[in-house]
Amino acid sequence: MPALRPDDSLHHQYLDFLRIRVISGASLKGLRIVLDCANGAAYQLGPELFSALGCDLVSIGAEPDGRNINAGCGSLHLEKLQQRVPAERAAFGVAFDGDADRALFVSANGSVINGDGVLLAVARYLKSQNKLPGNRVVATSMSNLGLERILARENISLARTNVGDRYVLEEMLKSGNVLGGEQSGHVIFLDDSPAGDGLLTAVKIASLIALQGSLDSLVSGFKDYPQTIVNVKVKSKPPLDSIPEVVRALSEANASLGENGRIVLRYSGTEQLARVMVEAEHDSDVQRFSHSIATALRSSIGA
């Protein structure tokens, strides 16, 4: 069996693919950006890409040693990027995760913009260009209610799927939608690729900033509703609607919240956990109802 050899042409083909994904009319020349490459897969390609596009670049988290991937850097640790972007007077910062399929952003003033913000910014642009089929975006059950509300005000509907990019892609393919993603920063631009790609996401957001102004302005009006997730260890996983205590707690919470909140209750697919996600206009409601539902779970099936 022949030995595997690296093919440098793949590196260049990928960068060529990304370079031509800059939105038409946008010039990134001179755009000051801070890249946090998480000491991972983007450490070389990220700086090469944005340097080739003419950006004024500052790179951090770009010195992997085989052990420091995601260590105090990247999308899991945004604190350094939040400090560095204003200090460098950069237009924005982007943080990749270790394998660079996700990207989270920091605006010029240090505010974090997650995947929900990316979906909003891109959906607004695509709609303005009549390139958003059905005026519809696909996200998961974890995307914030605030995203759904602001999209609705702009006559854009939000379809929700189970958590996982595979479910987002399935819905996009089924319904003919071109934009979908997760709050975590995993975004799919189906006209460009069926895969989530943090570098591609960064190119799109950089393009919009070059075309339309600051990152904060791209997500103006977006209000994140308070949200919490409580994990409850369970000894078994019966259907949740078969547990009277849980049904009662859930019904009381839904009746009280009405249209001003949202509850997602599900089992983990890999662990003996039930996950309680509650979001609402007021943090007091989030804390109250997440506690009551978690308590009902512990008393009935808690480990």
Q: Convert the pLDDT of each residue in 241-291 to its tens digit.
A: 999 999 999 999 999 999 889 999 999 888 999 999 999 999 999 999 999
221: tokens are 């009006």
- Using the predicted structure, report yes or no on whether residue 152 has a pLDDT greater than 90: yes
The reported pLDDT for the residue numbered 269 is 83
The encoded tokens of residue 51 equal 């340097």
Mean pLDDT check: name the lowest of 2-16, 182-196, 209-223. 2-16
**Rounded average pLDDT over 140-152:** 94
Alpha helices in the chain (DSSP H): 8-19, 42-52, 79-87, 115-128, 145-153, 165-175, 198-212, 215-218, 244-257, 283-301
Is 80 exceeded by the pLDDT of residue 2? Answer: no
Contact 162, 141 (CB under 8 A): yes
- Beta pairing partners, 159: 138
At residue 1, the pLDDT reads: 67
Closest Cα partner for 172 from 185, 184, 157, 159? 159
Q: What is the mean pLDDT of the chain?
A: 95
Q: Considering the chain, what percentage of its residues have pLDDT values greater than 90?
A: 92
| Complete edge-to-edge strand list for the sheet that includes strand 32-36 | 56-60, 32-36, 92-96, 103-107, 112-113
Residue 282 DSSP code: S
What digits encode the pLDDT tens for the residues 80-111?
999 999 999 999 999 999 999 999 999 999 99
Predicted pLDDT of residue 8: 82
**In this structure, is the dihedral angle defined by the CA atoms of residues 20, 174, 102 and 43, taken in order, positive or negative?**
negative
Confidence bin at 163 (pLDDT 50/70/90): confident
What is the C-alpha to C-alpha distance for residues 63 and 247, in angstroms, rounded to an integer? 51
Strand pairing category for 103-107 and 92-96? antiparallel
Q: Please, are residues 177 and 194 in contact by the beta-carbon 8 Å criterion?
A: no
Place of tokens 């919490």: 228
Q: Residue 225's pLDDT band (boundaries 50, 70, 90)?
A: very high
151-170 burial by CB neighbour count: b if 16+ within 10 A, else e?
Answer: beeeebebbbbebebebbbe
59 has a pLDDT exceeding 90: yes
Tokens of 124: 């607004």
Q: What is the pTM of this model?
A: 0.89
Cα 21 from Cα 192, distance rounded (Å): 8
Q: Amino acid letter at 73?
A: C
Predicted confidence at residue 149, as pLDDT, reads 94
